[in-house]
Structures are given as C-alpha cells and as structure tokens.
Amino acid sequence: MTQAPQPAIQELPLPQVTQDALPYWEALKEEKLIFQRCTSCKSAIFPPRSDFCPYCNTYGQIEWEQSTGHGKVYSFSVVERPPTSAWNDRVPYNLGFIWLDEDWVIFSEIRGASKDMAIDASVSVEYETRGDFVLPIFNLRT
C-alpha cells in the first residue's frame, strides 16, 4: 500500500507560489504589502487572481495597490500544539484573520502576548525573511 506523502518536518514551510501571486511575493521582498483592486467595482481583492473580478465579473480591470499594513483582528487562535516539530520553539503562537484598512482580509501570525489577543485589536504589518521569501506578519499595536 502506498503511504501518504509526509511533509518535511525539519524546516518551516515556504509558500507554494501561484503565477497570479508573483507580484505580491516580489513586492514583499521590498517590504511592501500589496493587494489587488478592481477599478470597475472598486472591490479590494485577495488572494490575488487572474484578471476576472470575482465580484463584478469584469475582465481586465484589476490593478495592484499598496496597503498601509494597518488593520484589525477579525478572529484568532493561540496555537499550543503545532503541526510539525519545526514549530516547537515558537509555541505558543497566535494565528488569525486580519481585516486591513483597505477592506481586504489576510491570514497571518499576530505577534504579541496571547493575553492581549482580542477581536478588533489593532495590528500593523512587519516582515519575516524565510529562505528566498519575505512573509508579512503582524504585530499587536499597543
């Protein structure tokens, strides 16, 4: 019987990049957090996607825009049992959805004391280098 593929546990995972998101990852290398906006319906769009706006179904009207990196915690969880041993020395860490000021949502780590974590807490972006990537992470603003 074939065993299921087992994820490598020695290292923290790198993102598996889609072609639509290449500009996002390139901008992060310059410590810029960008997202997409449809110039037709004005909706913020994330995760990044091809030129077809998922909200107004217009084709060819999507542009990239830089975020202030400021937002609020929408939901969160303090992770006590990590997925692999690679995370052991980071436990506990906070993960959650962040509602950015430009009306889009990102999933990320939220750095700050677990006791200070709360829905609607203000956060701002910072950056963590991992391999050839730069990941956006967020800090609780006190």
CB of 40 to another protein, least distance (A): 15
The residues, ordered by sequence, that sit 6+ positions from 109 with a Cβ below 8 Å of its Cβ are 93, 94, 95, 137, 138
Query: What are the strands, taking DSSP E only, across 17-132?
Result: 34-38, 44-45, 62-66, 70-79, 93-100, 105-111, 122-130
In the list 31, 51, 54, 101, the residue contacting another protein (rule: CB under 8 A) is: 54
When asked if residue 17 is in the footprint of another protein (CB under 8 A), the reply is: yes
In the list 30, 80, 89, 132, the residue contacting another protein (rule: CB under 8 A) is: 80
- Residues contributing to the site for another protein (CB under 8 A): 1-7, 9, 12-18, 21, 43, 45-47, 54-55, 74-84, 87, 90, 93, 95-97, 104-109, 114, 119, 130, 133, 135, 137
